[in-house]
Amino acid sequence: MTRPVWIRHASQLATLAGGSLSPVTGEGMNELSIIEDGSVWLENGRIERVGADSELEEVYRDRAGEAEIIDASGRLVTPGLIDPHTHLVHAGTRQNEFNMRLNGATYMEIMNNGGGIHATTAATRNASHEQLFDQSKKRLDLFLLHGVTTVEAKSGYGLTLEDEIKQLEVAKRLDAEHPVDLVSTFMGAHAVPREYKEHPDAFVDLVISEMIPEVARRKLAEFNDVFCERGVFTPEQSRRILEAGALHGLLPKIHADEIEPYEGAELAAAIGAVSADHLLRASDRGIQRMAEAGVIAVLLPGTAFFLMAESANGRKMIDAGVPVAISTDCNPGSSPTVSMPLIMNLGCLKMGMTPAEVLTAATINAAHAIRRAHEIGSIEAGKRADVTIFDVPDFMTLQYRYGVNHVHTVIKNGKVVVAGGALV
Ligand SMILES: N=CN[C@@H](CCC(=O)O)C(=O)O
Ligand SMILES: [Zn+2]
């Protein structure tokens, strides 16, 4: 049995309370529900009580001896960060392509010439379960060191039933064996594999008739995602794939309007997707429709940064009433980072978001984007005891002193898993 943990005297305890029922929008994204000189009691893996330190002192004085006490004086305490969009489970790296892009090649040119997603697909197909597990676990350790306690992970580098299942099984094992929780998404429609180059519709049929039913039958994923992009999957193919997934209980997500405007945001709204992700080139009409339909925009400013493209217009989306979440998009081609703190910095610097908005986007709205807001994303009694402590005094300094990992302590399920910036 783990001891209770009592976090005391946080200079700012950003609880993000009050947003669990529906994604936070508009001015609400600036409301962090901060408690100064804040205090949290964690017990049996749950948050038991949250409030001013003087209030918890009254309640827990007699039990102080039982608890592991963490003095958070001068520090910022937030919900454990949540990354709602990653391609965590993959083999190999693509620094050669980075160099090619720096020399003028484009992301899509590289992919159309057999590199890009195809290169990682070949490496992932060739890797054993054990090799994939080891490589992905290293990345997951780094996520934890950067304050992240829950990660969404997509398949999509197998592109055969067997290899997609291999990726999803690695994710399932990581979820079981690693402190970070994983939420799985099936993304068999990440690219048309080379062997189907001349018959893309036959591959779409395979995804629909064989892959989706089997992944759902084995309960290996909760979400279904597709790369809707000119030269990859058309909006019509994407719609078929997402509707087929929904019939099997897989909730739709979509990689939309990343490289070119392609009516992905409009499609997300039309089918009621949980989220539309990327949106660098989303149209004003698409943004409006997403706001009306309540589709969450999962914005990935690291991808725009690394692809040297103009970022999604987070400011415009928030002002239009779209609920915004942010994510690393961790993958070996377009965003090989594991740093949610850096992503929050980029949210401010490249997407016009405020320090408060990026924290909302990386916690409670990220929880909504993976349908976990009833469990995580805020520091409220009854929720899972996932908490991150930063060695900065307030949420503004977290963005101001950019590019640095300020994570000091991470508590996952009520257990201290990072202390003094190192894995315990
Ligand atoms: N755009 C599609 N998929 C990934 C990149 C995958 C890769 O390049 O390996 C993304 O979200 O950016
Ligand atoms: Zn992605």
Ligand 2 mean position, distance from CA 225 (Å): 9
Q: What is the per-residue pLDDT for 2?
A: 85
User: Model confidence over 310-329: pLDDT tens digits?
Assistant: 999 999 999 999 999 999 99
* CA dihedral over 71, 75, 76, 81, signed as positive or negative: negative
**Residue 185: CA atoms inside 13 Å, Cβ hemisphere, count?**
31
User: Residue 161: what are its φ and ψ, rounded to 5°?
Assistant: -55, -45
294 has a pLDDT exceeding 80: yes
pLDDT over 80 at 249, yes or no: yes
Strands 422-423 and 415-419: antiparallel
Q: 143-201 pLDDT, tens per residue?
A: 999 999 999 999 999 999 999 999 999 999 999 999 999 999 999 999 999 999 999 99
d(CA 401, CA 240) in angstroms, rounded, equals 45
- Mean pLDDT across 252-277: 98
Query: Probe ligand 1: pick from 110, 113, 227, 259, max atoms within 8 Å of CB?
Result: 227
Q: How far apart are CA 143 and CA 218, in angstroms?
A: 27
Residue 240's pLDDT band, with cuts at 50, 70 and 90, is very high
Q: Mean pLDDT across the chain, nearest whole number? A: 98
Length of the chain: 424
Question: Which residues line the pocket of ligand 1, CB cutoff 6 A?
Answer: 87, 116-117, 120, 227, 255, 258, 303, 329, 331-334
Task: Give the separation between CA 297 and CA 275, rounded to whole angstroms.
Answer: 6
- Once rounded to an integer, what is the mean pLDDT over residues 3-11? 98
Q: Output the residue whose Cα is nearest ligand 1's atom 2.
A: 227
**Per-residue model confidence as pLDDT tens digits over 40-62:** 999 999 999 999 999 999 999 99
Residues with CB under 5 A from ligand 2 (ion): 329
pLDDT for residue 1 is more than 80: no
Neighbouring CB atoms inside 10 A of 407's CB total 21
Q: What is the DSSP letter of 384?
A: B
Region of 111 (left: φ > 0; alpha: ψ -120 to 50; beta: rest) is: alpha
- Spatial contact of 78 and 410, defined as CB atoms under 8 Å apart: no
Q: How far is the CA of 334 from the centre of ligand 1 (A)?
A: 6
- Round to whole Å and give the CA distance between 112 and 129: 28
Specify whether the backbone of 287 is left (phi greater than 0), alpha (psi in -120 to 50) or beta: alpha
Minimal-distance CA residue to ligand 1 atom 7: 333
What's this model's pTM, rounded to 2 decimal places? 0.99
Nearest CA to ligand 1 atom 12: 334
The order of strands in the sheet holding 5-10 is 46-52, 38-43, 5-10, 68-71
Strands ordered across the beta sheet of 415-419 = 34-35, 12-14, 76-79, 387-390, 407-412, 415-419, 422-423
CA 338 / ligand 1 centre spacing (Å): 14
Q: What is the pLDDT of residues 357-377, one digit of tens each?
A: 999 999 999 999 999 999 999
Amino acid present at 210: E
Residue 110 main-chain phi, psi, to 5 deg: -60, -45
Q: Residues 100-128: what's their mean pLDDT?
A: 97
Q: Which ligand is nearest to the CA of 305?
A: 1
Average confidence (pLDDT) over 274-282: 98
Binding site residues, as ranges?
Answer: 85, 87, 94, 157, 190, 255, 258, 329, 331, 333-334
Answer for the pair 88, 151: CB distance below 8 angstroms, yes or no.
yes
pLDDT computed for residue 275 by the predictor: 99
**Residue 224's pLDDT band (cuts 50, 70, 90):** very high
- Does 289 have pLDDT greater than 80? yes
The CA distance from 74 to 313, in Å, is: 34
Residue 204: what pLDDT? Answer: 98
What 3-state DSSP class applies to 142?
helix
Neighbours of 22 (CB within 10 A): 11
> ipTM value of the model?
0.98
Atom of ligand 1 nearest to the CA of 333: 8
- How high is the pLDDT of residue 140? 98
Whole-number Å distance between alpha carbons of 357 and 31: 8
Intra-chain end-to-end CA distance of the chain, in Å: 17
Cα of 116 from ligand 1 centre, angstroms: 8
